[in-house]
Amino acid sequence: MIASEKQKIAEFLDLAGDFLSSGYRSAPKEYEFKDDEPAPGAKKTVESGTAQKDGVDTIEKVAAEVRACNRCNLGGTRTNAAPGEGVTQPLVLVIGEGPGAEEDAKGRPFVGRAGQLLDKMLASIQLSRNTNCFIANVVKCRPPNNRDPYPEETAACASFLQRQIVLLKPKFILVAGRIAAQTLLKTTEPIGKLRGKIKELSVEGMTIPILITYHPAALLRNEELKRPVWEDLKLLRLKLEEPGGGS
Protein backbone atom coordinates (compact mmCIF):
# COMPACT_ATOMS: atom_id res chain seq x y z
CA MET A 1 0.00 0.00 0.00
CA ILE A 2 1.28 3.47 -0.87
CA ALA A 3 1.48 6.39 1.57
CA SER A 4 -1.42 8.35 0.05
CA GLU A 5 -3.75 5.35 0.41
CA LYS A 6 -2.77 4.97 4.08
CA GLN A 7 -3.44 8.69 4.62
CA LYS A 8 -6.95 8.39 3.15
CA ILE A 9 -7.76 5.41 5.38
CA ALA A 10 -6.49 7.27 8.44
CA GLU A 11 -8.59 10.32 7.54
CA PHE A 12 -11.68 8.13 7.20
CA LEU A 13 -11.06 6.50 10.58
CA ASP A 14 -10.50 9.91 12.20
CA LEU A 15 -13.75 11.18 10.69
CA ALA A 16 -15.65 8.14 11.98
CA GLY A 17 -14.16 8.63 15.43
CA ASP A 18 -15.16 12.29 15.48
CA PHE A 19 -18.72 11.41 14.50
CA LEU A 20 -19.05 8.74 17.19
CA SER A 21 -17.48 10.81 19.97
CA SER A 22 -18.75 14.37 19.52
CA GLY A 23 -20.41 14.67 16.12
CA TYR A 24 -17.99 17.45 15.14
CA ARG A 25 -15.13 17.25 12.65
CA SER A 26 -11.74 17.99 14.16
CA ALA A 27 -8.82 19.43 12.21
CA PRO A 28 -7.36 16.86 9.78
CA LYS A 29 -4.06 15.30 10.78
CA GLU A 30 -1.04 14.64 8.60
CA TYR A 31 0.60 11.28 9.21
CA GLU A 32 4.13 10.38 8.14
CA PHE A 33 3.24 7.22 6.28
CA LYS A 34 5.63 5.52 3.88
CA ASP A 35 4.96 3.28 0.90
CA ASP A 36 5.09 -0.44 1.64
CA GLU A 37 8.12 -2.25 0.28
CA PRO A 38 7.16 -4.65 -2.53
CA ALA A 39 7.31 -8.34 -1.72
CA PRO A 40 10.41 -10.15 -3.05
CA GLY A 41 9.88 -11.05 -6.69
CA ALA A 42 6.69 -9.01 -7.00
CA LYS A 43 6.05 -7.35 -10.35
CA LYS A 44 4.73 -3.84 -10.74
CA THR A 45 1.78 -3.50 -13.10
CA VAL A 46 0.37 -0.45 -14.82
CA GLU A 47 -2.58 0.10 -17.13
CA SER A 48 -2.23 1.16 -20.76
CA GLY A 49 1.54 1.48 -20.43
CA THR A 50 1.37 4.64 -18.29
CA ALA A 51 3.01 4.55 -14.87
CA GLN A 52 0.95 5.52 -11.85
CA LYS A 53 3.04 7.66 -9.52
CA ASP A 54 1.82 9.50 -6.47
CA GLY A 55 1.48 13.18 -7.35
CA VAL A 56 2.05 12.65 -11.09
CA ASP A 57 -0.88 13.04 -13.47
CA THR A 58 -1.68 10.12 -15.77
CA ILE A 59 -4.40 9.16 -18.22
CA GLU A 60 -5.58 6.53 -15.75
CA LYS A 61 -5.81 9.11 -12.96
CA VAL A 62 -7.95 11.35 -15.17
CA ALA A 63 -10.19 8.38 -16.02
CA ALA A 64 -10.62 7.48 -12.35
CA GLU A 65 -11.58 11.05 -11.49
CA VAL A 66 -14.05 11.17 -14.38
CA ARG A 67 -15.77 7.98 -13.21
CA ALA A 68 -16.16 9.43 -9.70
CA CYS A 69 -17.10 12.94 -10.86
CA ASN A 70 -20.23 14.76 -9.73
CA ARG A 71 -19.30 18.29 -10.75
CA CYS A 72 -22.55 18.75 -12.69
CA ASN A 73 -26.02 17.22 -12.89
CA LEU A 74 -24.93 14.62 -15.45
CA GLY A 75 -23.15 12.75 -12.68
CA GLY A 76 -26.53 11.93 -11.16
CA THR A 77 -28.19 10.69 -14.35
CA ARG A 78 -25.44 8.64 -16.00
CA THR A 79 -25.03 4.88 -15.84
CA ASN A 80 -21.32 4.99 -16.63
CA ALA A 81 -18.97 7.83 -17.49
CA ALA A 82 -16.90 7.36 -20.65
CA PRO A 83 -13.50 8.95 -19.98
CA GLY A 84 -11.92 7.96 -23.31
CA GLU A 85 -9.84 5.16 -24.77
CA GLY A 86 -7.01 4.47 -27.16
CA VAL A 87 -3.24 4.53 -27.20
CA THR A 88 -1.32 6.76 -24.81
CA GLN A 89 0.94 8.32 -27.44
CA PRO A 90 -1.56 8.92 -30.24
CA LEU A 91 -0.92 10.30 -33.67
CA VAL A 92 -4.47 11.68 -33.65
CA LEU A 93 -6.80 12.60 -30.80
CA VAL A 94 -10.44 12.40 -31.86
CA ILE A 95 -12.81 14.60 -29.86
CA GLY A 96 -16.57 14.25 -30.10
CA GLU A 97 -19.55 15.65 -28.22
CA GLY A 98 -20.51 13.16 -25.53
CA PRO A 99 -21.66 9.61 -24.79
CA GLY A 100 -24.91 8.22 -26.17
CA ALA A 101 -27.00 5.32 -24.88
CA GLU A 102 -24.51 2.59 -25.89
CA GLU A 103 -21.57 4.54 -24.51
CA ASP A 104 -23.43 5.22 -21.25
CA ALA A 105 -24.15 1.51 -20.88
CA LYS A 106 -20.58 0.40 -21.56
CA GLY A 107 -18.52 3.32 -20.24
CA ARG A 108 -16.67 3.61 -23.56
CA PRO A 109 -16.71 6.38 -26.18
CA PHE A 110 -18.07 5.90 -29.71
CA VAL A 111 -19.23 2.28 -29.52
CA GLY A 112 -22.76 2.66 -30.93
CA ARG A 113 -23.72 3.00 -34.61
CA ALA A 114 -21.97 6.37 -34.89
CA GLY A 115 -18.90 4.91 -33.23
CA GLN A 116 -18.79 1.99 -35.63
CA LEU A 117 -18.96 4.44 -38.50
CA LEU A 118 -16.20 6.53 -36.91
CA ASP A 119 -13.98 3.45 -36.75
CA LYS A 120 -14.55 2.89 -40.50
CA MET A 121 -13.84 6.56 -41.24
CA LEU A 122 -10.55 6.36 -39.34
CA ALA A 123 -9.60 3.05 -40.95
CA SER A 124 -10.04 4.61 -44.39
CA ILE A 125 -6.99 6.80 -43.66
CA GLN A 126 -5.00 4.20 -41.71
CA LEU A 127 -6.04 5.31 -38.24
CA SER A 128 -7.41 3.23 -35.37
CA ARG A 129 -8.08 3.58 -31.65
CA ASN A 130 -6.15 0.33 -31.23
CA THR A 131 -2.90 1.51 -32.82
CA ASN A 132 -2.51 5.27 -33.23
CA CYS A 133 -5.56 7.19 -31.95
CA PHE A 134 -7.22 8.18 -28.71
CA ILE A 135 -10.99 8.83 -28.61
CA ALA A 136 -12.56 11.31 -26.17
CA ASN A 137 -15.49 13.70 -25.79
CA VAL A 138 -16.00 17.22 -24.46
CA VAL A 139 -18.44 15.82 -21.88
CA LYS A 140 -17.78 12.44 -20.33
CA CYS A 141 -21.34 11.62 -19.20
CA ARG A 142 -24.45 11.20 -21.34
CA PRO A 143 -26.86 14.15 -21.41
CA PRO A 144 -30.43 12.83 -20.88
CA ASN A 145 -32.18 11.88 -24.13
CA ASN A 146 -28.96 12.78 -26.02
CA ARG A 147 -29.73 16.49 -25.76
CA ASP A 148 -26.95 19.02 -26.37
CA PRO A 149 -24.79 19.45 -23.26
CA TYR A 150 -25.38 22.69 -21.39
CA PRO A 151 -22.52 25.23 -21.09
CA GLU A 152 -22.09 24.47 -17.39
CA GLU A 153 -21.69 20.78 -18.24
CA THR A 154 -18.98 21.33 -20.85
CA ALA A 155 -17.30 23.73 -18.41
CA ALA A 156 -17.35 21.09 -15.67
CA CYS A 157 -15.56 18.62 -17.98
CA ALA A 158 -13.15 21.12 -19.54
CA SER A 159 -10.25 20.45 -17.19
CA PHE A 160 -10.49 16.69 -17.79
CA LEU A 161 -10.19 17.15 -21.55
CA GLN A 162 -7.38 19.66 -21.15
CA ARG A 163 -5.42 17.26 -18.97
CA GLN A 164 -5.95 14.49 -21.52
CA ILE A 165 -4.61 16.70 -24.31
CA VAL A 166 -1.55 17.66 -22.26
CA LEU A 167 -0.80 14.05 -21.29
CA LEU A 168 -1.43 12.53 -24.73
CA LYS A 169 0.41 15.21 -26.74
CA PRO A 170 -1.26 14.22 -30.04
CA LYS A 171 0.26 15.27 -33.35
CA PHE A 172 -3.19 16.21 -34.63
CA ILE A 173 -6.73 16.64 -33.30
CA LEU A 174 -9.78 15.58 -35.32
CA VAL A 175 -12.92 17.26 -34.01
CA ALA A 176 -16.23 15.53 -34.78
CA GLY A 177 -19.34 17.67 -34.74
CA ARG A 178 -20.65 21.14 -34.00
CA ILE A 179 -20.76 20.96 -30.20
CA ALA A 180 -17.16 19.76 -29.87
CA ALA A 181 -15.92 22.32 -32.41
CA GLN A 182 -17.72 25.27 -30.85
CA THR A 183 -16.64 24.23 -27.35
CA LEU A 184 -12.96 23.85 -28.22
CA LEU A 185 -12.74 27.00 -30.33
CA LYS A 186 -15.08 29.04 -28.09
CA THR A 187 -17.16 30.14 -31.05
CA THR A 188 -20.76 30.11 -32.23
CA GLU A 189 -19.91 29.72 -35.93
CA PRO A 190 -21.86 26.94 -37.68
CA ILE A 191 -19.98 23.77 -38.45
CA GLY A 192 -20.41 24.37 -42.19
CA LYS A 193 -18.00 27.29 -41.85
CA LEU A 194 -15.65 25.58 -39.41
CA ARG A 195 -15.08 22.25 -41.16
CA GLY A 196 -12.49 21.43 -43.79
CA LYS A 197 -9.88 23.92 -42.60
CA ILE A 198 -6.72 23.37 -40.59
CA LYS A 199 -6.86 25.43 -37.41
CA GLU A 200 -4.72 25.52 -34.28
CA LEU A 201 -5.50 24.82 -30.64
CA SER A 202 -3.23 26.15 -27.90
CA VAL A 203 -3.14 24.19 -24.65
CA GLU A 204 -0.61 24.90 -21.90
CA GLY A 205 2.15 26.03 -24.23
CA MET A 206 1.41 23.43 -26.91
CA THR A 207 0.01 24.39 -30.31
CA ILE A 208 -1.73 21.48 -31.98
CA PRO A 209 -3.23 21.52 -35.50
CA ILE A 210 -6.90 20.57 -35.57
CA LEU A 211 -9.37 19.67 -38.29
CA ILE A 212 -13.13 19.85 -37.82
CA THR A 213 -15.59 17.59 -39.63
CA TYR A 214 -19.18 16.47 -39.26
CA HIS A 215 -20.10 14.05 -36.48
CA PRO A 216 -20.59 10.48 -37.76
CA ALA A 217 -24.13 10.55 -36.31
CA ALA A 218 -24.91 13.34 -38.76
CA LEU A 219 -23.81 11.11 -41.63
CA LEU A 220 -26.25 8.44 -40.49
CA ARG A 221 -29.02 11.01 -40.79
CA ASN A 222 -27.84 12.69 -43.99
CA GLU A 223 -25.83 10.75 -46.57
CA GLU A 224 -25.07 13.95 -48.48
CA LEU A 225 -22.51 14.76 -45.78
CA LYS A 226 -20.40 11.72 -46.68
CA ARG A 227 -18.60 13.50 -49.52
CA PRO A 228 -17.46 16.55 -47.49
CA VAL A 229 -16.39 14.26 -44.65
CA TRP A 230 -14.32 12.19 -47.08
CA GLU A 231 -12.66 15.39 -48.31
CA ASP A 232 -11.89 16.29 -44.69
CA LEU A 233 -10.38 12.87 -44.01
CA LYS A 234 -8.23 13.04 -47.13
CA LEU A 235 -6.94 16.44 -46.00
CA LEU A 236 -6.07 15.00 -42.59
CA ARG A 237 -4.21 12.08 -44.20
CA LEU A 238 -2.32 14.50 -46.42
CA LYS A 239 -1.26 16.62 -43.44
CA LEU A 240 -0.16 13.56 -41.50
CA GLU A 241 2.05 12.47 -44.39
CA GLU A 242 3.82 15.82 -44.61
CA PRO A 243 7.34 16.05 -43.11
CA GLY A 244 6.94 16.40 -39.37
CA GLY A 245 3.32 15.25 -39.55
CA GLY A 246 4.06 12.19 -37.48
CA SER A 247 2.91 9.50 -39.89
Would you say residue 18 has pLDDT above 80? no
SS3 category, 112: coil
Give yes or no: residues 14 and 109 share one domain: no
SS3 category, 211: strand
* Mean pLDDT lowest among 20-29, 138-147, 160-169: 20-29
pTM: 0.77
Give yes or no: residues 34 and 65 share one domain: no
Residue 204 CB contacts under 8 Å (≥ 6 apart), including other chains: 162, 166
Give yes or no: residues 35 and 84 share one domain: no
Would you say residue 116 has pLDDT above 60? yes
| 19 found inside a domain | yes
| 51 found inside a domain | no
Q: Which of 151, 148, 167 is nearest to 83 (CA)?
A: 167
Burial string for 154-164 (b: 16+ CB within 10 Å, else e) reads: bebbeebbebb
Give yes or no: residues 135 and 184 share one domain: yes
pLDDT, the chain, mean: 86
Domain of 140, CATH number, reads: 3.40.470.10
Q: How confident is the model at residue 55 (pLDDT cuts 50, 70, 90)?
A: confident
Q: Work out the average pLDDT over 198-208.
A: 94
Q: Which domain holds residue 231?
A: 57-241
Query: What pLDDT is attached to residue 43?
Result: 34
Give yes or no: residues 109 and 202 share one domain: yes
- Tell me which H or E stretch contains 67: helix 59-67
For the chain, how long is the longest CA-to-CA vector?
A: 70
Would you say residue 136 has pLDDT above 80? yes
8 A C-beta contact, residue 101 and residue 145:
no
Instruction: For residues 43 and 41, give the distance between their C-alpha atoms in angstroms, rounded to a whole number.
Output: 6
Instruction: For residues 52 and 35, give the distance between their C-alpha atoms in angstroms, rounded to a whole number.
Output: 14
| 191 found inside a domain | yes
User: Integer distance in angstroms from the first to the last C-alpha of the chain?
Assistant: 41
Give yes or no: residues 124 and 20 share one domain: no
Would you say residue 4 has pLDDT above 70? no
Instruction: For residues 187 and 139, give the distance between their C-alpha atoms in angstroms, rounded to a whole number.
Output: 17
Which one is predicted more confidently, 245 or 170? 170
| 160 found inside a domain | yes
Which one is predicted more confidently, 1 or 119? 119
Q: What pLDDT digit, counting tens, does each position of 73-96 carry?
A: 999 999 999 999 999 999 999 999
Would you say residue 97 has pLDDT above 60? yes
Give yes or no: residues 65 and 101 share one domain: yes
Give yes or no: residues 70 and 119 share one domain: yes
Which one is predicted more confidently, 20 or 228? 228
| 50 found inside a domain | no
Burial string for 60-87 (b: 16+ CB within 10 Å, else e) reads: bebbebbbebebbebbeebebbbbbbbb
